[in-house]
Every structure is written in C-alpha cells, then in structure tokens.
C-alpha cells in the first residue's frame, strides 16, 4: 500500500518558504509558513496511525468536507495516542498559533525581537519531530539551495553535519573542501577518479578536477570541458563583469 504523501509534500513547500522569507527579512510570512509546516508534520503523524484522525470530528459522514483538527488541538490529539510533545514544545506551538492568527487578522501584537528569537526554535521543533516521529532526516526534507540558510539558523543542522562527517570518515577518501551546495566541510568523499559525493545533501553531480580558470584541484560542478570552475574564479569573473558594466556606464 502506497502512503499518501500530500501532507509531507505541502510541509516541505511551506518549510522552504519559511526559510526563504526568514533569510529575506520577511518575518510575518516566515511565521505563517513555519506554522503551516509544523501543523502539517503533526498531522502527518496522526495520518500514519489512521487518516481519519486528522479530522476534527471523525464521525462526519463525508470526511472530505469535514474540518481538520486545529493546530492548538493537535498536541492533545497526539497525546491521546501516546505521542507526547514536551511542555515547552506545546507552549511553542500555542504561541505561534496565536501569532499566526494575529498576522492573518492584520493585528500583530507580538514583540518582533521575541519572534526573531523563537522562529528558529519552531524550525528546530519541526526538524526534531521529523526525526523522532516520522523517521525523516531534516537534510532529506530540504532542497539544496536551502541548506546554507538552515545551517546559519538551526542547531539541528550541526547534528546533521556531525552525522554526515562520521559517515564520510567511515567511507574514507575525504576531500577537505566545503561542499559547493550545502557548505559542509569534511563531508565530501571522492568516488572513483573524479566523482564526489556529499554525505549531507547527497549531491552526486560534483567533480574533483582541475579548475579551468586557475588550474587548482577543486570541487565544483562540471564546466564546458572536463574540468570545473572553482569558487574563486567564479567570484573573480563576477567582479570583472560588474567592473565592465561600471566602465560602460562611465563611458570608458
């Protein structure tokens, strides 16, 4: 039997939006999307027990039209099936539920500094719940471009990198450069002559070869030839391009 993945798919999308909006300084949107992600992963845990448990009234004749259980009621519904959140986690969920309602009704009353402090805590809760209750590693739940944002925001990412480092050392052939996608150090392994595997983000498209610009051995995405372009050469090319645009604007 194939499990319905719609709750998890939506949770991934909302989590991605939460991280993107946080990195762009859009606090309210980050809160809305982070709360939605948290609500969906909690409902996914109920869904794995039985799909009807995500509904407020499981005795409705037409469940497809019934309301789902609300965010603030989810901890109690889960506890009824011996899935208990810690008191601080329940408080966190309740707090963000209130903040979401304030934002939706255009009457935010929460302290902005408190929100900036607690939003990473909510994301940490989502990551921890994915791991302990759904057997999903957080790094498997995100797309590559979000890894660096998560690494700057969440301590859960430290655990992910530590575990990846252990796996890399068990495999051997470690390359001491940072992964171009997730930024992890000590997590890249050389497989074969040129292929590189990252134990954090599972990226396999990287290549260890001579940089086509400076000739240094480096890890990067394959360029037009057999080699790669190192980050330093990419940045230098970008600087040259910006300088060219500036010269054109000055009439040089």
Which stretches of the chain are DSSP H helices? 6-23, 27-49, 74-79, 87-104, 112-134, 138-141, 147-153, 156-171, 231-249
Which tokens sit at 193?
């002559």
- Tens place of pLDDT for every residue, the chain, 252 residues? 446 788 999 999 999 899 888 888 888 999 999 999 999 999 999 999 998 898 887 767 676 667 888 888 999 999 999 999 999 899 999 999 888 888 888 777 888 888 888 888 888 888 889 988 999 887 778 776 677 777 766 766 677 778 888 999 999 989 888 887 777 788 899 888 888 888 877 766 688 887 877 777 888 776 545 567 776 677 676 667 666 766 676 666
**Which domains are present in the chain?**
6-136 (1.20.120)
* pTM, to two decimals: 0.67
> Are the CB atoms for 131 and 137 separated by under 8 Å?
yes
């Amino acid at each position: 039997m194939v499990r319905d993945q719609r709750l998890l798919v939506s949770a991934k999308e909302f989590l991605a939006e939460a991280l993107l909006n946080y990195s762009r300084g859009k606090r309210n949107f980050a809160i809305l999307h982070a709360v939605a992600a948290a609500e969906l992963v909690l409902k996914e845990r109920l869904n794995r027990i039985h799909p009807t448990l995500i509904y407020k009234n499981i005795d409705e004749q037409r469940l497809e039209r019934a309301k789902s259980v609300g965010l603030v009621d989810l901890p109690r519904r889960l506890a009824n099936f011996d899935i208990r959140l810690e008191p601080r986690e329940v408080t966190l969920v309740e707090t963000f539920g209130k903040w979401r309602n304030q934002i939706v009704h255009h009457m935010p009353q929460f302290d902005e500094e408190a929100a900036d402090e607690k939003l990473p805590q909510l994301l940490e809760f989502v990551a921890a719940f994915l791991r302990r209750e759904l057997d999903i590693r957080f790094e498997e739940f995100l797309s590559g471009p979000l890894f660096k944002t998560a690494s700057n925001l969440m301590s859960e990412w430290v655990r992910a990198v530590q575990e990846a480092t252990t796996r890399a050392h068990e495999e051997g052939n470690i390359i001491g450069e940072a992964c171009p996608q997730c930024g992890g150090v000590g997590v890249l392994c050389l497989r074969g002559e040129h292929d590189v595997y990252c134990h954090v983000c599972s990226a396999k498209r990287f290549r260890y070869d001579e940089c086509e610009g400076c000739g240094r051995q480096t890890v990067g995405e394959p360029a037009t030839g057999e080699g790669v372009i190192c980050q330093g050469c990419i940045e230098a090319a970008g600087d040259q391009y910006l300088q060219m645009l500036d010269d054109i604007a000055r009439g040089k």
